[in-house]
């Protein structure tokens, strides 16, 4: 358990689950969200609420934002009654949204100019793992800051990777988020071909799972595809945002991509056909409709469930590193 008073802004699909984990571990928590129902649900569990981001920042030692876009985060941070107005020397800001690395660095500079500490700490693994505290966390910032916040991160997640300076975690998150829809689009094609070719889809699922074609996306999202719910608490507009961030990153570094623009066009077509808030695994509907079939199995769950017990989080040390760098080493400093 941490002795830090923690604030949490953004109680959506992922943020709400992360905040509940903090409460379950007895953390002194203050929350804020534009949806009063989300706030009330956590207050009923023992959290306190704040009237503004500034008030929340003034009350806590460590503040977490988990918001849907860089623009929303900037507004929450920089409004007259925003987070920056309530920060003071020694306080800590963790940006857990999926955001642009340049924007993370820009806001971090403003935080640090106030004498506070900034880190970008996006998460990966899905809402079901956020709910159990088994999600993975990328953490960008100084080594000293990382070690200070590690007890809180160990409550929120299971595998925690220090990625380097502020902004590095957001770059890695954009890369890993791009890979998810690539796998999803490929699985939609593979499962549809299996269906049209007459294969049993329960058998096909297991065949992919035990083969070199397996992936985390298959073991989670293929199950809700075959159930028919296609519900993973992630929508097509968010896929378009994520792949767009990856495209922008590649263009900024003049990397000539071929696959990414194609995947982006597939999901943009999905948004046009089914709406921005359609579940992302329903991208398979494009192929189901073209082939006149339904891609369904039997006995698969309607939602992704993490059935692994919560294990206290710990740092993942990259290969070829014989030991963790010390705070005095300067590694990871801005």
**Residues 8, 18: contact at Cβ < 8 Å?**
yes
Share of the chain above pLDDT 70, in %: 96
Correct CATH for 6-166+309-329 of 3.30.9.10, 3.40.50.720, 3.40.367.20, 3.40.190.10 = 3.40.50.720
Query: Average pLDDT, stretch 168-189?
Result: 96
Q: Where are the alpha helices (DSSP H) in the chain?
A: 13-24, 36-43, 53-59, 70-78, 83-86, 101-113, 127-132, 143-156, 168-196, 201-209, 216-227, 236-252, 259-274, 285-291
User: Would you list the domain boundaries of the chain?
Assistant: 6-166+309-329, 172-291
Handedness of CA 14, 130, 70, 110 (dihedral sign): positive
Q: For 16-60, what is each residue's pLDDT tens digit?
A: 999 999 999 999 999 999 999 999 999 999 999 999 999 999 999
pLDDT band (50, 70, 90) for residue 183: very high
Beta bridge partners, 138, equal 161
Q: For 209-224, what is each residue's pLDDT tens digit?
A: 999 999 999 999 999 9
Please tell me the distance from the alpha carbon of residue 152 to that of residue 18, in angstroms, as a whole number. 11
**Architecture, CATH, for domain 172-291:** Orthogonal Bundle (1.10)
Catalytically annotated residues: 173
Please tell me the distance from the alpha carbon of residue 66 to that of residue 86, in angstroms, as a whole number. 18
Please tell me the distance from the alpha carbon of residue 300 to that of residue 177, in angstroms, as a whole number. 25
Rounding to the nearest 10 degrees, give the CA dihedral for residues 224, 227, 229, 230: 30
pTM, rounded to two decimals:
0.89
Predicted confidence at residue 325, as pLDDT, reads: 56
Q: For 134-159, what is each residue's pLDDT tens digit?
A: 999 999 999 999 999 999 999 999 99
Residue 283 has pLDDT above 50, yes or no: yes
Predicted confidence at residue 308, as pLDDT, reads: 80
Q: For 69-102, what is each residue's pLDDT tens digit?
A: 889 999 999 999 999 999 999 999 999 988 889 9
């Amino acid at each position: 358990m941490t002795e830090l008073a923690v604030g949490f802004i953004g109680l959506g699909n992922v943020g709400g689950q992360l905040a509940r984990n903090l409460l379950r571990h007895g953390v002194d928590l203050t929350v804020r969200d534009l949806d009063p129902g989300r706030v009330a649900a956590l207050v009923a569990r023992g959290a306190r609420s704040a009237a503004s981001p500034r008030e929340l920042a003034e009350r806590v030692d460590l503040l977490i934002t988990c918001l849907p876009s860089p623009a929303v985060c900037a507004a929450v941070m920089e409004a007259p009654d925003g987070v920056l107005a309530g920060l003071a020397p020694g306080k800590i800001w963790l940006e857990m949204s999926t955001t642009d690395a340049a924007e993370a660095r820009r806001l971090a500079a403003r935080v640090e100019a106030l004498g506070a500490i900034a880190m970008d700490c996006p998460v990966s693994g899905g809402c079901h793992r956020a709910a159990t505290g088994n999600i993975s966390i990328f953490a960008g910032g100084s080594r000293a800051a990382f070690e200070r916040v590690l007890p809180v991160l160990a409550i929120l997640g299971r595998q925690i990777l220090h990625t380097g300076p502020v902004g590095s975690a957001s770059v890695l998150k954009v890369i890993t988020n791009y890979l998810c829809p690539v796998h999803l689009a490929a699985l939609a094609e593979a499962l549809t071909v299996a269906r049209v070719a007459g294969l049993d889809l329960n058998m096909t699922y297991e065949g992919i799972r035990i083969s070199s074609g397996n992936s985390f996306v298959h073991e989670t999202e293929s199950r809700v595809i075959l159930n028919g719910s296609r519900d993973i608490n992630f929508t097509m507009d968010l896929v378009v945002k994520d792949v767009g961030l990856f495209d922008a990153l590649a263009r900024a570094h003049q990397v000539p991509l071929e696959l990414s623009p194609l995947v982006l066009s597939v999901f943009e077509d999905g948004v046009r056909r089914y709406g921005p808030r359609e579940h992302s695994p329903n991208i398979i509907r494009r192929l189901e409709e073209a082939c006149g079939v339904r891609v369904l199995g039997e006995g698969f769950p309607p939602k992704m469930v993490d059935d692994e017990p919560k294990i206290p989080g710990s740092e993942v040390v990259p290969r070829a590193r014989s030991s963790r760098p010390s705070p005095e080493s300067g590694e990871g400093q801005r």
